[in-house]
Structure 1
Amino acid sequence: MIHELFAYLCVSDAKQAIAFYTDAFGAKEKFRLTEPSGRVGHAELDFGGTIVMLSDEFPECDIASPRTIGGTPVTIHLHVDDADATIRRAIEVGATLERAPADAFYGERSGVVRDPFGHRWNIGHSIEEVSPEEMQRRYTALMEQGAG
């Protein structure tokens, strides 16, 4: 039986990442475990009731950040009250805009930023309720337009 699922981010500078996620997204630090050297072995941030865990890199354990491996295949979706404002704030404190906010076929206004540590965030808010069937219809129409 599964009880919970947590995203666990590896970053190149956990102290700076904690400050960024707090400033950009309003996350609240629950706690952190720090080695005598200053390296963060584990930290937990509360993103409005969802916990995201993070640590510094541990090359001796093959734990590397997106900066070290040259990218990430993972996108984190952050559902907020106001995507435009959240994206603006993230950019103000160091994120890079990858896709400006826009209304999407699936009933959400969203955009994408890359945080200073290499993680990709899709930030959105609901603009309408869309059934899976309607979403598929819209997706198919969109793909057919792009194919022509």
Structure 2
Amino acid sequence: MVRTSHVFPVLRYRNPKAAIEFLVKGFGFHVAALHEGADGEVVHAELRFGESMVMLGGFSPELVASGRTASGGTGGIYVSVRFVDGHYDRAVAAGAKITRPPEDMEYGSREYSCRDIEGYEWSFGTYDPLGIDGKVADA
């Protein structure tokens, strides 16, 4: 199968440096790219998790429409991981606010959900919706 398109969530944080630190420490992301402005503020960052990536930058009312996902929105990000319970422990240790503890789902996945330091909803589980070779990122 040849992939011709990709989806990369873009998140805007009020404190992007703290968000990067949290996503690396708490969720196991790795910084792939970090671009700072002359003032040292994060203009654009790319964080990888296995073969996936999120992009992020600073929050700016001019760039973000009202109804932002964080702080009470209805959206979220799902990440496929191999070892849910270990990932959960890591997120808790980093200060993630748990919204749903690890549980076995009727469709065979083990999952949990939490909010990051600025309120974005994240879910982590063993279900891989693409089912590509059954591989998921190590947590």
**1:45 matched to which residue of 2?**
47
Q: How far, CA to CA, are the matches of 1:38 and 1:73 in structure 2?
A: 32
Is residue 96 from structure 1 mapped to residue 97 from structure 2 by the alignment?
yes
Query: Does the 8 Å CA contact 2:79/2:125 hold for their aligned counterparts?
Result: yes
Is residue 28 from structure 1 mapped to residue 30 from structure 2 by the alignment?
yes
Q: How far, CA to CA, are the matches of 1:115 and 1:40 in structure 2?
A: 18
Q: How far, CA to CA, are the matches of 1:80 and 1:2 in structure 2?
A: 24
Is residue 76 from structure 1 mapped to residue 72 from structure 2 by the alignment?
no
**1:59 matched to which residue of 2?**
61
Larger Rg: 1
Q: Which has the higher contact order (CA 8 A, sep 6+)?
A: 2
Structure 1 segments, 4+ long, off by >4 Å, are 63-67
Distance 1:66 1:94, change over 3 A: farther
Deviation of residue 115 (structure 1)? Answer: 0.8
Query: Unpaired runs of 5+ in structure 2?
Result: 128-139
Query: Unpaired runs of 5+ in structure 1?
Result: 127-148
Q: How far, CA to CA, are the matches of 1:62 and 1:7 in structure 2?
A: 14
Paired amino acid for 1:28:
H
Alignment deviations for residues 2-51 of structure 1 (CA, whole Å, 9 cap, x no partner): 52111111112111111111111221101111112232121001111111
RMSD over aligned CA atoms reads 2.0
Query: Does the 8 Å CA contact 1:14/1:40 hold for their aligned counterparts?
Result: yes
| TM-score, normalised relative to structure 2 | 0.80
Q: Indicate the percent of aligned positions where both proteins have the same amino acid.
A: 32
Aligned residue pairs, count:
124
Query: Does the 8 Å CA contact 1:108/1:125 hold for their aligned counterparts?
Result: yes
**2:137 matched to which residue of 1?**
none
Q: How far, CA to CA, are the matches of 1:55 and 1:63 in structure 2?
A: 15
| TM-score, normalised relative to structure 1 | 0.75
Distance 1:58 1:20, change over 3 A: same
- More helix by proportion, 1 or 2? 1
